Structure 1
């Protein structure tokens, strides 16, 4: 099968270029503006009409909920949502039932991902058995069956003894620890950022030290063990400073920020609104600005969505009882392009670096994150000139728990290719 993409503005490692891409048998066969000789043997010609052609986006932090929570999401709907958002590779968290905490269950998880997913799905294993305080998993056995890394996302590792043992084991198998940093005792029963806004609404707060105290501990331990320590969904200015200092000291630490922590803050919570309940919570405006500064100076390596779908019932009522989390795969690029590129804060190439190039580099994904001859044709075509409204009815995810619904944005996904096959295509309306 040969496909020729013509008239694209292609994001290449050397920069943006008006050129064409030839895809053959799922891989990029040629890149250039003089591919006319291929027309006679090409099965399909796709005119992308001056739109952006970028390497498929990579999200290292998603929740697909299957098995165990399929009312919220399934591997099929979650991966369709990824394709709709322009993501061709995602890494799924292991807070599932049953938990993929042993080789046998992990292999079953990989089979589900492969059979039901329409994008490439990498899979995290847990750090501890059943994601509970107690025995560590068999790191070597889980690496051998294909673990992407180790995470207890949704829960912090509560003791230094347990974390240092986990770091030593992960370092031995040369895989990362991806940490949800949260001291459960300090978090308590909080539902939003601790401070004046929480007090005004009469809601219990989550202090920033529930994140920063554990992060400071872990950075010291990471330096001592040499592990690749990746910080999930950074939310505070102090955390950014701690990570910056650790990097300067030679600690092998990387970090991600989510679109919601970059573009929303606690001042936007004017009522008891469960659609704005997430963990870690939306912090202060100065925290949001620190995250952006951290992205721009390289302290924060990438953007990841923490895509967390829930049922309507679970996100209705009060923040006191609603579930933590929002969806993100289908809104991430458009929100980032609109807030960052269109506003002049960064370039399109910088954004693609945070959403594709850097995740591939950090997590050693050799066949992703760039457009080059010989690589799999994992590509996304993006219209960045015509504004549109984010609508729940157009979402592929089961979860519609997003505060971004209704936003006017730029950056619509037109087509997504995985291994040269179209896995999402914008519906053409009369």
Structure 2
């Protein structure tokens, strides 16, 4: 069984927002899963096939982009984009969650067609990892005519996501709420578009609409790009326990308000991070990192907490075995440091200064995907394979 060791870790971010920093300096990986976490003497106990020297830089769980709109593989016709998933990996993203394949040309809007699209996208993403990233595709777009049996049939085919409600013909809580119950009964996780319209075909959804529909995830609570008012955000925070998604392609003022309001209530575990790309706002390969930089530098959350928003919080919201540096979890990591020239002495200080860290390595299932990001600034200290 193959083993990988990572040593000389300067800062280890756990993914647990309640305890975001570990004193451990060494990680042992076996067959794609985290085997042990501790001190460098572990390398004497476990003979590794490959050892990575982190050179005192930060090791964090690979980022999870909770909101993407793919079509098939690494292609979407939105902005005529090919390779956006690979580009995001160079920004530290190792897992992506589809919020619906809404940009599919000629997207079917009948019950049979929307089911077929979800099955196709789910199985395609399961069979092939675009750019190496774990894409969870095939998020069912709710259309009129769907019945409870449809959710049962989809679950048997492995489909487990409902794309953000509001993208399809089902928009009102009276129609959506029964479908949400059918979906949840069959093991689905449900997202809901929130706020103003973002592109033609989407619709404005209020806080009360969200409460009445009862999804698992409040998609882009900071709008896409038109956000709901601060009092509407407060209403969702105070009256639900839903995961609250921040997106890069949204309203920054509401992003700041949301983080600070949740921090005040000691509920930071509710916040997750997505890009909402490809979108009308364009393609932003560093979208997750840029969101973390904004949150760390402009809100009351620390950089370590912000990283947990895009890792462990999202993993918990969707029931994934990633997002934490814990024994038994899938070995997905981003190794990063302050970018050259930053006033920050490490990646966390750089984020809190408003900088984007330099990513020197991304690892997925214990496999090194690259040894220098093509999209971030160069790291002051880059990890190397010994």
Q: TM-score, normalised by structure 2?
A: 0.75
Structure 1 residue 36 corresponds to structure 2 residue 26:
no
| 1:273-317 C-alpha deviation (Å, 9 max, x unpaired) | xxxxxxxxxxxx5x45423424534486222111216xxxxxxxx
Q: How big is the shift at 1:352?
A: 1.6
What is the CA–CA distance in structure 1 between the aligned matches of 2:199 and 2:298, rounded to whole Å?
38
1:362 aligns with 2:317: yes
Runs of 4+ in structure 1 over 6 Å off? 187-190
Shift of 1:135: 1.6
The residue correspondences of 1:254-265 to structure 2 (distance < 5 A) are 254-261=243-250, 263=252
Give the counterpart of 2:81 among 63, 73, 88. 73
Structure 2 counterparts to residues 89-104 of structure 1, below 5 A: 89-92=95-98, 93-95=100-102, 96-97=104-105
Q: Structure 2: how far apart are the matches of 1:369 and 1:79? A: 18
Give yes or no for the alignment of 1:228 onto 2:235. Answer: no
Q: Does 1:115 align with 2:128?
A: yes
Contact 1:176 1:230 in 2 (8 A): no
Return the match for 2:365 from 391, 400, 419: 419
Q: C-alpha deviations, 1:45-72, integer Å up to 9, x for none?
A: 2111111100111111012232784572
Hey, what does 2:328 align to over in structure 1? 374
Aligned residue number for residue 153 of structure 2: 141
> CA separation in 1, counterparts of 2:3 and 2:60?
19
Conserved? CA contact 1:2–1:42, under 8 Å: yes
Q: Distance between the aligned counterparts of 2:220 and 2:292, measured in 1?
A: 22
Correspondence for 2:281: 325
SS in 2 for 1:150: strand
SS of 1:94's equivalent in the other structure is: coil
Distance 1:101 1:182 in 2: 27
Return the match for 1:179 from 173, 192, 196: 192
Q: Distance in 1 between matches of 2:232 and 2:128?
A: 41
Residues 377-428 of structure 1, C-alpha deviations (whole Å, 9 max, x = no match): 111111135358xxxxxxxxxxxxxxxxxxx933122111111011233169
Structure with higher Rg: it is 1
Q: How many Å separate the matches in 2 of 1:23 and 1:350?
A: 24
Structure-2 change in CA distance of 1:60 and 1:124 (3 Å): farther
Q: What are the superposed Cα offsets for residues 337-370 of structure 1, whole Å, 9 maximum, x if unpaired?
A: 54343568432221122111111111121x1110
- CA displacement at 1:152 relative to structure 2: 4.8
Superposition CA RMSD, Å: 3.4
CA distance in 1, matches of 2:213, 2:43: 57
C-alpha deviation, 1:105, in angstroms: 4.5
Q: What is the SS of the residue equivalent to 2:145?
A: coil
Label 1:85 to 1:179 Cα distance change in 2 as closer, same or farther (>3 A).
same
Match of 2:204 among 211, 216, 219: 211
Structure 2 unmatched ranges of 5 or more: 343-353, 379-386
For normalisation by structure 1, the TM-score amounts to 0.68
Equivalent residues in 2 for 1:139-178 (5 A)? 139-152=151-164, 155=167, 157-178=170-191
User: Structure 1 stretches of 5 or more lacking a match?
Assistant: 191-205, 264-284, 310-323, 389-407
